[in-house]
Structure 1
Amino acid sequence: MGRRGSSSDDPLHHEGGIPAPPVRAGETHPVRHSTARHLRKGKRFTWLKVVSAVLACALVAGLGVIVVKVVGLRSSLTTEPLNLGTEAQGLPVDLSTDPVQILILGTDSRANTGGAYGRDPSSDGKGNSDVMMLMNLSADRERVTVVSLPRDLLTDIPACEDPQTGAIYPAQQFAQLNTALSYGGPGCTVAAINQLTGMEIDHFMMADFNAVKELSTVIGGVEVCVNEPIHDTYSNLELPAGVSEIQGEQALAFLRTRHAFGDGGDRGRIRAQQSFLSSMARKITSEGTLTNVPRLYNIADAIARNLTVDEGLAEITKLLALADRIKNVDLGKVAFVSLPTSLYEPNPNRLVMDEVEGEKLFSILRADGDVTAADEDEEPASPAPSDGPSSPAAPEPEEPAFDPSAQPVEVVNASGTDGRSSEIAEQLQTLGYLLATGTESLETSPATQIFYSAGFEDVANELAEELNVPKASVLSSERNHGVTISMGADFATGTQLEATGGVGGNLRGQTADQVTCQGSGGF
């Protein structure tokens, strides 16, 4: 079902998303006031809709060197309280040895942008948090897991106290998660996500629109891949098909767009953001950035001038400890995961968390586990007790999910190596896919992808397993009937794609060592 029409680029029509009027100090209200710390006086920033600048630096060793320069830039940082929930109970965390949860936020606020990004009445003041990423650092320093929370997610928001005015915003039931930012600030989003996940967020980071533009320019651009030309008049994203290196306004547009990717909703945009961050991490680790002190200082400057953190994280010693624990994480263990969701039936433009799969994800993170690990096989069920001897029942033969010989499969060679489509088509024919055909393409693609139209998802997944194509590159598309295997430059030889990283179980997402491309269609 399509999800167009719910866009951060258009005026947002919230469902349960208009903040309840606050109760001013001195007025009676059944909600209890908290002892939350008040905001330090100083310059207020608008927050970044996309937080790639902060996250990309945190994912690589560069932050360890950058932070030395940040000491001189400390005055550029702005702080806000960590948790505005009236039931807030902050617990101390050791950034060197404990598992750490850091919430990374961005906002759709147009304040102080001079009208460069349009006018949206719902984004006045603090705005709404268009991007919410919960970054989890494992205690053993070997894993980084980033969970993307959709802005369209419906959940409960607890009562929050505005640190500037002392006003209490009443609790909201089944409201849109991204509106929590407007209930006093980022600390209310922290409180809401703590309640949703059963976790305890230790710190947050926020940056403004300029951060992604400045950082993407400082590092010389970030490579992105799209399957067809993009002309998005809402975000002003203009890209040819294939691989492009983007920076500045185009990098921001890539991260802002909702209309260009997927079905026009949160899921497609989140996938594009994960791909961008993975590409940025790969570039920073591969181009000598980590040993280039002038470039590192420029990165530090771009971050510090556009960064807001909670009061605890503003201490330089804590930033040093944080940097030290992430600097050697392998990109295959840097996982970007989408929160498991389903469409909200009364309004398909909204999402709700899949309770079963969502709880599986957060139970892994609460146990400081690894989301890239495959699910362990379940123990076989014990047989029911019997009163007497009996012969074991013969297992019933499983019905095949589909008949391979009747499935339309097209293999498109976009690898840049002649003859590959015929080779793989012949291989599939020996496996029973008698209708498999090969087609040569004039275009090349960096990544192998499998596209399927409605009714062919099982076929696509079976072929992905046969060819070892990661599930992050198995996408729905109605451009062709059946299944289309687009062979990229990563599949120029052999009968199976060389394995890369990936997330386990039923989770959707990718690891930072995987190259993915974006396009229209479902997700």
Structure 2
Amino acid sequence: MTDLRPRASRRASDPTIARHGRLRSAGPVATIVRFVAAAVAVVLVSGAAVAGYAVWDISNSVKPGVALIGETLGPPPDIGAIEGGVNLLLVGSDSGGGDKRYGSRGETLNDVTILLHISADHTNATVVSFPRDLFVPIPSCPKVGQPGSWGAQSSNKINVALAYGGLACVVKTVSDLTGLSIPFAAKIEFNGVIEMSNAIGGVTVCVASAINDGQIGFHLSKGMHTIKGWNALMFLRSRYGVNGGTDLARISNQQVFMSALVRQARDSATLTDPIKVYGLAKAAVDNMQVSNSLRNPITMASIALALKDIDPRNIQLIQYPSRFGSSNGEGGVLPIQDAANVLFAAIKNDQPVKLSGATGPGSSLDPKATTAPIDPSSQPLDNVVKLPSTITGQNSSQQTCSKGQTYR
């Protein structure tokens, strides 16, 4: 085993897979990236003259792809919803892409790691956020830009995997941890979050108690706020301005944003507005690095079409079950293995899940929220797995509010 290892610098049967002071955490959001593909889908099927240019422009903007470890590429699907289930990993890098506004960093860490699973029948989706300080085994991964491979590590924080071996290493780490095959992956930087929140026109979030984060200079009063651009990025990055000041609290705060975005996109017909969807797609391809399997816009579109009609009640936003602890003398969080086994067995067996625990320390249910009417076209799900109460999160139909605090 080699000693030349990146280290975290911070303290404290598979489903059918589709054929066809330092500033903290990037905080890009799974839901934003998911709807990027929907943007491409609408552009591809619009048939308007401008759509032809949009497809050409987006296709020519896609950056070189990343080869995943053990990757086998098949032909791209036809236009239409992708066949079977999908596992896609979304990674948020904290490097800032070299932009000095985000502070000076000596590392590139995956401070946001989110797994999206779409069921094979396209009736439900599960979105799992992995805490950046979660201690996990890191597998041997090829070095990026140089010959050879890094040796495996028995325990390190999950957020070193990106520095250790790039996007492909993050995918391999999560695949080994969960037992799932993950054929699709994407990485986004800070600027991408800003541009994509601008493209959608902002997201309206509820704040139950004021967020005052002196570490990153972000303040948001109690009440309802429509945030985009820099403020959206700061909202997603804020840790010390959220109740408890932990990364676990920040994840539940990010889920406030994600669930609001899902509801807003559906209610405002965002995904049927060619101008907005083109803006989203363009912002994505200009600011994302994707696996080779995602470089074809038709593939992105087909994944989007599998997502766009899922009832928000059936989109579960889940935090990987964990508890505070230490490994190798360093503080962080450790897996709650029994609960994780239940969660990933359900995903592996392509079963929908239902939460029984709380929303998480950084959020609470909005007491003023009204229950959304049931979509008459939706059908009850079969074989639903009730998750242990140690697993926190919410479904996308639940209206939640951020629980802020003051940190100077």
Question: What's the TM-score, normalizing by structure 2?
Answer: 0.80
SS of corresponding position for 2:103: coil
Question: Which residue of the partner structure matches residue 317 of structure 1?
Answer: 298
Amino acid at match of 2:126: T
CA contact (8 A) 1:77 1:306 kept: no
Gaps in structure 1 of 5+ consecutive residues: 1-10, 18-46, 375-470, 478-484, 492-496
TM-fit CA distance, 1:197:
0.7
1:202 is matched with which residue: 180, 183, 192? Answer: 183
**Cα distance in 1 for residues equivalent to 2:42 and 2:362:** 42
Percent identity over the alignment is 28
Closer, same or farther: CA 206–517 of 1 in aligned 2, 3 Å: same
TM-fit CA distance, 1:56:
4.7
Amino acid at match of 1:369: Q
Question: Pairwise CA RMSD of aligned residues?
Answer: 3.2
CA contact (8 A) 1:160 1:183 kept: yes
Amino acid at match of 1:314: R
The reply on whether 1:356 has 2:338 as its aligned counterpart is yes
The reply on whether 1:279 has 2:163 as its aligned counterpart is no
SS of corresponding position for 1:120: coil
**Cα distance in 2 for residues equivalent to 1:222 and 1:286:** 12
Closer, same or farther: CA 363–119 of 1 in aligned 2, 3 Å: same
Question: Which residue of the partner structure matches residue 20 of structure 2?
Answer: none
SS of corresponding position for 2:402: coil
1:239 is matched with which residue: 220, 234, 242? Answer: 220
The reply on whether 1:65 has 2:49 as its aligned counterpart is no
Question: Which residue of the partner structure matches residue 98 of structure 1?
Answer: 84
**Cα distance in 1 for residues equivalent to 2:355 and 2:243:** 27
Q: Number of paired residues?
A: 364
CA contact (8 A) 2:135 2:155 kept: yes
**Cα distance in 1 for residues equivalent to 2:276 and 2:312:** 21
Question: Which residue of the partner structure matches residue 18 of structure 2?
Answer: none
The reply on whether 1:299 has 2:280 as its aligned counterpart is yes
**Cα distance in 2 for residues equivalent to 1:486 and 1:267:** 17
Question: Which residue of the partner structure matches residue 307 of structure 2?
Answer: 326
**Cα distance in 2 for residues equivalent to 1:13 and 1:252:** 22
**Cα distance in 2 for residues equivalent to 1:360 and 1:338:** 13
Question: Which residue of the partner structure matches residue 394 of structure 2?
Answer: 510
The reply on whether 1:107 has 2:93 as its aligned counterpart is yes
The CA deviation string for residues 429-460 of structure 1, in whole angstroms up to 9 with x for no partner, is xxxxxxxxxxxxxxxxxxxxxxxxxxxxxxxx
SS of corresponding position for 2:28: coil
**Cα distance in 2 for residues equivalent to 1:150 and 1:235:** 20
Pairs within 5 Å for 1:160-171: 160-171=141-152
Closer, same or farther: CA 195–473 of 1 in aligned 2, 3 Å: closer
SS of corresponding position for 2:98: coil
The reply on whether 1:223 has 2:204 as its aligned counterpart is yes
Question: Which residue of the partner structure matches residue 77 of structure 1?
Answer: 62
Question: Which residue of the partner structure matches residue 55 of structure 1?
Answer: 33
TM-fit CA distance, 1:195:
0.9
Closer, same or farther: CA 167–67 of 1 in aligned 2, 3 Å: farther
SS of corresponding position for 2:333: strand
Question: Which residue of the partner structure matches residue 366 of structure 1?
Answer: 348
SS of corresponding position for 2:101: coil
Higher relative contact order, structure no. (Cα contacts within 8 Å, ≥ 6 residues apart): 2
CA contact (8 A) 1:155 1:174 kept: yes
TM-fit CA distance, 1:312:
1.6
Question: What's the TM-score, normalizing by structure 1?
Answer: 0.63
Amino acid at match of 2:28: V
Closer, same or farther: CA 14–348 of 1 in aligned 2, 3 Å: closer
2:9 is matched with which residue: 6, 9, 13? Answer: 13
The CA deviation string for residues 374-393 of structure 1, in whole angstroms up to 9 with x for no partner, is 7xxxxxxxxxxxxxxxxxxx
Question: Which residue of the partner structure matches residue 490 of structure 1?
Answer: 369
Amino acid at match of 1:108: D
Closer, same or farther: CA 503–363 of 1 in aligned 2, 3 Å: closer
Larger radius of gyration: 1
**Cα distance in 2 for residues equivalent to 1:515 and 1:140:** 26
**Cα distance in 1 for residues equivalent to 2:151 and 2:60:** 34
**Cα distance in 2 for residues equivalent to 1:352 and 1:120:** 26
CA contact (8 A) 2:260 2:399 kept: yes
CA contact (8 A) 2:188 2:287 kept: yes
The CA deviation string for residues 391-450 of structure 1, in whole angstroms up to 9 with x for no partner, is xxxxxxxxxxxxxxxxxxxxxxxxxxxxxxxxxxxxxxxxxxxxxxxxxxxxxxxxxxxx
TM-fit CA distance, 1:486:
9.1
CA contact (8 A) 2:96 2:190 kept: no
Question: Which residue of the partner structure matches residue 4 of structure 1?
Answer: none
TM-fit CA distance, 1:147:
0.5
Q: Which structure shows the higher helix fraction? A: 2
1:131 is matched with which residue: 105, 108, 112? Answer: 112
TM-fit CA distance, 1:62:
4.5
